[in-house]
Structure formats: C-alpha cells, structure tokens
Amino acid sequence: MHYTKSQDPAVQKQNPPPPPPPPQQSHQVPPKPVADQSEAVPPPLKPSSMGPSQTPVQRSDTILGKPFEDVKSYYTIGEELGKGQFGVTHLCPEISTSQQYACKFISKRKIVTKSDREDIKRDIQIMQHLSGQSNIAELNGAYEDKYSVHVVMELCAGGELFDRIIATGHYSERAAASICRSIASYEEQQVS
C-alpha cells in the first residue's frame, strides 16, 4: 500500500496531532445542538401575531384543506336538532341575514382514519356539486377549527322520512308512489 506522509500510521504515532486550542471566553451563548431538522422548523403563526396584510397559514392537518375559520363568526349556534354517528346538528341562524340554517358539528375525535377524513371531504364536495338541485339540501358553507368540521346547510324542517313512515304507520299506494317518484327523480338526475 502507498500512504502519503500524513496518512502513514507510523508517522502519525510519532507526531500526534496538536492539542485543541483553549476555549475562548465569550459573552455569546453557544447555539443548542439540533438532533433533527424537523425540530428546527418554527411553529405556524397564530392569527394574533400576524400583520394586517398576512393571511392565516394553512395547516397540513386540516381535513378541508383550507385555513381554520370560526363558524361562530358567521352563525349563531342555536338549539340541537339531532345527533348522528359523527356529530350533532344545531339550528344555526346566519348573523348577517338572520336566515335559518342547520349546522352539523362533526367532532374530529371521531374522524380517526384516513378513510374517515376522505369521506368527510368527499361528502362536502358532492354537496357542492349538487348545489341547486331540487329535493336536495343546499350546502351553504363548510368550516373547520381545531376540534370540529362544521357543515352549514339548508334547514329542512320536514323531519326524517323514516320517522314519518313510523308515525303514520302506513302510506296509501298513491302517497308511497309520490315519495318514490321524488327519490327516483333525484337518482335519474345523478345518472344523466
């Protein structure tokens, strides 16, 4: 093998490297070592610390893919209208117009899988796409905060079809046909 003079092990034993220089007295605080570069990333800005021309920072953990907004800035949360598997629906008048809406509060604690997140986002996109169709509740807005996703939609005060069937006991053939036509009309619009 061929070594240069500084690489030769025999020469290195005879001439050990010089000792490190003594530490200098400084008034500066040495920087903290960072083990992982992800720790060096500053936390996202809070709205209160942003200037007037800055917009909220979009968080990567959002379900809707947009900055957090407080639904209470636009709507007054009223009485509970019902409960479901993922959330609770409240009467929700719009502050600026007093128009009555229903707001479904979907708790993020119940959205546990990636599939749940995708389902919520897809349902909202479908409602946006179907906007303006007859016999379908109109979506008025979707908001998200740290704890919930809020889906604001047209208030349908007629009640649940299932509840109406149970309360009536039975429908005449004519009444049942009318309901089936409404459902079929909706399905036909989706296919075409």
Q: Looking at residue 163, what is its pLDDT?
A: 79
Q: 25: helix, coil or strand?
A: coil
Q: Looking at residue 165, what is its pLDDT?
A: 77
* Residue 182 belongs to some domain of the structure: no
Question: Using alpha carbons only, what angle is made at residue 92 by residues 151 and 76, rounded to the nearest 5 degrees?
Answer: 115
In terms of Cβ atoms closer than 10 Å to its own Cβ (0-12, 13-18, 19+), residue 19 is exposed
First CA to last CA across the chain, in angstroms? Answer: 80
* Residue 10 belongs to some domain of the structure: no
Q: Are 150 and 90 in contact (CB under 8 A)?
A: no
CATH number (domain holding residue 126) = 3.30.200.20
* Residue 149 belongs to some domain of the structure: yes
* Residue 109 belongs to some domain of the structure: yes
Question: How many domains does the structure of the chain reveal?
Answer: 1
* Residue 185 belongs to some domain of the structure: no
The amino acid sitting at 98 is: S
Integer Cα distance of 140 and 133 in angstroms: 14
* Residue 77 belongs to some domain of the structure: yes
> Binding site membership: which residues?
104
Q: Looking at residue 171, what is its pLDDT?
A: 80
The pair of three-digit structure tokens given for residue 45, joined into one six-digit string: 């800005």
> Binding site membership for ATP: which residues?
104
* Residue 88 belongs to some domain of the structure: yes
Domain that holds residue 83: 71-154
Kind and range of the H or E run holding 57 = none
Long-range CB contact pairs, 87-95, < 8 A, 24+: 87/148, 91/155, 92/152, 94/140
Q: What is the pLDDT along the chain (192 residues), one digit of tens a residue?
A: 444 444 544 444 555 566 666 555 544 444 444 444 434 333 333 333 333 444 444 455 788 888 999 999 999 999 999 888 888 999 999 999 999 999 999 999 998 899 999 999 999 999 998 888 877 889 999 999 999 999 999 998 776 767 777 888 888 888 888 878 877 776 666 555
B/e letters for 168-187, b = 16+ CB within 10 Å, e = fewer, are: eeeeeeeeeeeeeeeeeeee
* Residue 44 belongs to some domain of the structure: no
